[in-house]
Structure 1
Amino acid sequence: MSRPDYARTASTNLSAAAGRRPLEGKLALVTGASRGIGAAICRNLAAKGCSLVLNYTSDSSTQRTDELAAQLAAAHGIRAVAVQADMGSATGPAHCVASARNHFAHPKTGAFTLDIIVNNAAVAANKAVADVDVGHFARLYDVNVRGPLLLVQAALPHLPLDRSGRIVNVSSVSAALGFADQSVYGGTKAALEAMTRTWARELAARCTVNAVNPGPVATDMYAGTSRDFQAQMSSWTKNTPLAAVREGVDADEFVRNAEFAGGRPAYDTEIAGVVAMLCGEDAGWSTGSVVCANGGFKFST
């Protein structure tokens, strides 16, 4: 296609898109959607017109996730359903995809397309190398590595056939920075990034595949970290360009703690914004990348 022809085609596509939300008619499956980054991703995608499958694991999250699904459906005129499935089990990922198909397949033809997958569910725990045991290793790798792999396997028959699909894997700066006590957790995230690059090649006809790598994020998990952990992070946070606190803008608790912690953590909405960006049509020429979602905690290379 000549350049003028391409320019006219692009202009036509933009005109057709005018007046509609950027993810209108799409369906996304977000794992670990009951709280934190996962819930923020769901809110962002729903606001862009995307219908949702909100995955969660524990019984204690059932009411919270059901309520979030109902709120998003009412607020944005989308369809949203909560699905309980353990991403760390051998059968949970396939159950999640099967449940999505049961809820969203065309009632007459059975046609079903899963446009977006966000592999967000993860578990984190720190142990010195001398203290790592088989159970610790298996738990983290089952959820953080095997779970995304089995989910993508189960979703393969339902991915788009025109490269419009999107897979976004939520990694961590821990994959690259070698923090103490993270032999296993950091290894799981490095494995997820390796799978991101492989899937980008294997699935190129179906979808793009990218990862994002948050640093510290203001979630329940971060709130539960020790002062020792925050002290370990402080030298990194001090050198993070966007972590400098802004009085009157940032949460008071982060302003008060900034001198000790070196700055503020990210807000979950900031991670969700980068994920949503990679889910859109404009990100169609980006694949196999680990995209910075950490305020400069780690510069991407």
Structure 2
Amino acid sequence: MSVEAGRTPGQTHRTSYDAETHARLTADSDLIVARYPQARSALLPMLHLVQSEDGYVSPRGIAFCASHLGLTTAEVSAVATFYTQYKRHPNGDYTVGVCINTLCAVMGGDAIWEDLSDSLGIGHDETTDDGRITLERIECNAACDYAPVVMVNWEFFDNQTPDSAREIVETIAAGQPVAPTRGADTVCSFKEMSRVLAGFDDGRAHEGVGGGVPTLRGVELARAESWTAPPFEASGTAAAPAGGAPQVGGEQSSAQRPTTTAGDVSPSGERKKQTSDDAKES
């Protein structure tokens, strides 16, 4: 059998699963399909499932999904090539993703990417010769409050520097466990994470930190100040509170709030009406 392009040494192309693997994947797929009113809706998690078996969305994985869901291989391939979490060639045991979107980039993400690419000797979506690490440039990890961010198999490593990111990669390359800033206590393998993304609980959801201090700062401040969202009318526009403009965060915004000076307020606390002379002077 010929070695498939992009495969790491020792991996060969196979067109179908053996009977035992096929039975196991079928049982898992039946559980996935049962979650949805229409079978074809199960395609996304099923692609993660076959990825957890092969380490990427393989030709036999595509054929399996198509057969199980009554789709064509072209339909399955169209979905598998649309989303970046589905790999169309063998992936490393650990995907190291460096955010190079705007905020992370200006905070040092570009420098982290360049350092890791140079030290590993690989570029975007390429894998080290030992099959250990795949390096990716990622467009926003939705963790801007911790920029710059690196992810390893979709676990967060916050507030990184070139040195700290390189240390993470060196630890992985040495076969030692690494602990993310938030999430599970340790990072699992790419195949194990793919199975979690397929919807199978690994029993680790309770581990580690969820939302950190920067993430929760806004909601905690709102609670402390008793800020609430403004009421909305049926039209979808904010309803103005009595005697004022629509509230933003429980207060009128500076653009909406009328400017008042001490001279504009009478002793009784009522705002004085501007006379014609005052208006001319202003």
What's the TM-score once normalised by structure 1's chain length?
Answer: 0.24
**Greater C-alpha Rg:** 2
What's the TM-score once normalised by structure 2's chain length?
Answer: 0.25
